């Protein structure tokens, strides 16, 4: 039986429904490739990446997991990298040859952090090339190693937010350093990247796509219907209830886009009504659970992540509000009209619309079908309408 874990990556017996993806990604990495797990938030990127790490470890590889969600600076990244590296059991095999490098790196960070303001910035700029180069030399490039980097785009966005003048240069430097790390001659170190904010969107927005063109994107989609049914049945079994075929089909039809997270949170709300509020296991209770879901916090991250669109955020919100009102979707021409009413510059509007449609599709908000753009998820559309368009 599986546990209904909705907020964190799943591991062990709770890993469900991505067995084919696991096999494909692991085989791809074994052939010598690095990979980006490309998908919107809550699709299961981190869970899959952790499972690939487990597979690598079981096959004798060194593994390293670096979550950058709380990292806000380059120095913070370096500190996080060193902390995670030195905490690994396999690190003791190489610690004697790398102790001096570690000490030098940490001393450089300490020195820059002790200063304040412009002096600290100058101190870091003067030393960071050497720090990054030493960091690259810490690992044994002749040993098969898999490094997972989670929430990469969060830290890149922080570079820009924290330093409007030099932020893009810092992000470019960092991405080029990662690229040089991957391209060390004969290296056996492989990388698996994942991020709730699409790296493709970030690099495209800042004209840095070239820094990641050597890493293969692997999109993770929603569950197919049969796999979604299996998940619902497993969740019901774990809670000791029986779902009829009618209720299962109704739930899946209600969701439309069968992301595991969406399936889980709807089941969680449904089961709470059955268990605590003594509701019957019926389609009426599914409707009640759905109505509660779109008015609560479970989908807030989809709204919050638009902050990462920076100057495009206001226009993204304008498009999403319009599309939440019209469930059938809108033509590109109509969306152009909506935006241009705000921008009042046709050339600028065309440029912004093209970029936003690419970004919003890439991040899972929108889908294009029959020359119309609409919300990819009925659940997300109803949440958006309930929150912003009523």
Q: Do the Cβ atoms of 1 and 244 come closer than 8 Å?
A: no
- Looking at residue 114, its pLDDT comes to 40
Burial state string for 116-138 with b = 16 or more CB within 10 A and e = fewer than 16: eeeeeeebbeebbeebbebbbeb
Alpha-carbon 264 to chain mean position: 18
pLDDT band at 373 (very low <50, low <70, confident <90, very high): very high
For the cut 50, the answer to whether the pLDDT of residue 115 exceeds it is no
DSSP class of residue 388 equals: I
CA separation for the pair 292, 276 (Å, rounded): 15
CA separation for the pair 390, 385 (Å, rounded): 6
Specify the DSSP element, H or E, that contains 66. Answer: strand 62-67
pLDDT 10s digits, 124-143 = 666 778 888 888 888 888 99
Tokens of 307: 């902050």
pLDDT band at 4 (very low <50, low <70, confident <90, very high): very low
Alpha-carbon 279 to chain mean position: 36
**What Cα–Cα distance (Å) separates residue 235 from each residue in 70, 229, 253, 279?**
32, 10, 18, 18
Q: Do the Cβ atoms of 175 and 203 come closer than 8 Å?
A: yes
pLDDT band at 121 (very low <50, low <70, confident <90, very high): low
pLDDT 10s digits, 279-305 = 999 999 999 999 999 998 888 888 988
**Share of residues in the chain with pLDDT > 90 (%):** 46
Helix, strand or coil for residue 149? strand
What would the 3-class secondary structure string for 187-208 be? CCEEEEEECCCCHHHHHHHCCC
Across all residues in the chain, what is the average pLDDT?
Answer: 85
Q: Do the Cβ atoms of 325 and 310 come closer than 8 Å?
A: no
pLDDT band at 363 (very low <50, low <70, confident <90, very high): confident
- Looking at residue 130, its pLDDT comes to 81
Tokens of 280: 């019957």
**CA-wise closest residue to 54 among 1, 11, 19:** 11
Helix, strand or coil for residue 217? strand
- Looking at residue 218, its pLDDT comes to 82
For the cut 60, the answer to whether the pLDDT of residue 381 exceeds it is yes
pLDDT 10s digits, 234-257 = 899 989 999 999 999 999 999 999
More confident residue, 124 or 342: 342
**CA-wise closest residue to 51 among 15, 17, 24, 27:** 15
pLDDT 10s digits, 185-214 = 999 999 999 876 678 778 887 888 899 888
pTM: 0.75
For the cut 80, the answer to whether the pLDDT of residue 117 exceeds it is no
pLDDT 10s digits, 64-83 = 999 888 888 888 888 888 88
For the cut 80, the answer to whether the pLDDT of residue 15 exceeds it is no
């Amino acid at each position: 039986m599986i546990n209904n874990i909705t907020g964190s990556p799943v591991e062990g017996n709770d890993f469900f429904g991505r067995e084919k993806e696991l096999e494909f990604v692991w085989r791809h990495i074994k052939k010598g490739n690095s990979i980006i797990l490309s998908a919107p938030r809550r699709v299961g990127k981190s869970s899959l990446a952790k499972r690939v790490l487990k597979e690598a470890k079981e096959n004798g590889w060194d593994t390293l997991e670096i979550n950058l969600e709380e990292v806000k600076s380059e120095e913070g990244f370096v500190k996080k990298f060193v902390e995670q590296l030195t905490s690994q059991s396999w690190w003791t095999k190489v610690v004697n040859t790398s102790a001096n490098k570690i000490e030098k790196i940490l001393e450089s960070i300490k020195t820059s952090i002790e200063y304040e303001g412009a002096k600290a910035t100058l101190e870091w700029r003067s030393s960071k090339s050497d720090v990054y180069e030493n960091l690259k030399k810490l690992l044994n490039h002749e040993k098969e190693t898999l490094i997972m980097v989670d929430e990469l785009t969060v830290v890149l966005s922080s570079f820009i937010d924290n330093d409007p003048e030099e932020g893009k240069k810092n992000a470019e430097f960092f991405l080029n350093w990662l690229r040089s790390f991957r391209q060390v001659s004969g290296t056996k170190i492989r990388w698996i990247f994942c991020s709730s904010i699409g790296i493709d969107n970030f690099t495209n927005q800042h004209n840095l796509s070239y820094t990641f063109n050597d890493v293969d994107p692997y999109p993770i989609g929603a569950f197919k219907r049969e796999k979604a049914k299996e998940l619902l049945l497993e969740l019901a079994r774990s809670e000791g209830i029986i779902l009829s075929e009618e209720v299962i089909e109704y739930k899946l039809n209600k969701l439309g886009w069968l992301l595991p997270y969406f399936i889980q949170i709807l089941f969680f709300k449904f089961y709470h009504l059955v268990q605590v509020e003594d509701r019957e296991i019926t389609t009426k209770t599914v409707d009640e659970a759905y109505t509660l879901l779109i008015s609560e916090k479970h989908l807030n991250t989809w709204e919050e992540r638009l902050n990462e669109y920076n100057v495009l955020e206001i226009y993204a919100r304008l498009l999403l509000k319009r599309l939440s009102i019209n469930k059938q979707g809108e033509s590109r021409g109509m969306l152009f009209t909506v935006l241009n009413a705000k921008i009042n510059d046709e050339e600028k509007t065309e440029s912004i619309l093209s970029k936003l449609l690419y970004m919003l599709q890439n991040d899972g908000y929108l889908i294009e079908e029959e020359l119309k753009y609409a919300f990819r998820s009925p659940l997300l559309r109803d949440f958006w309408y309930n929150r912003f368009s009523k």
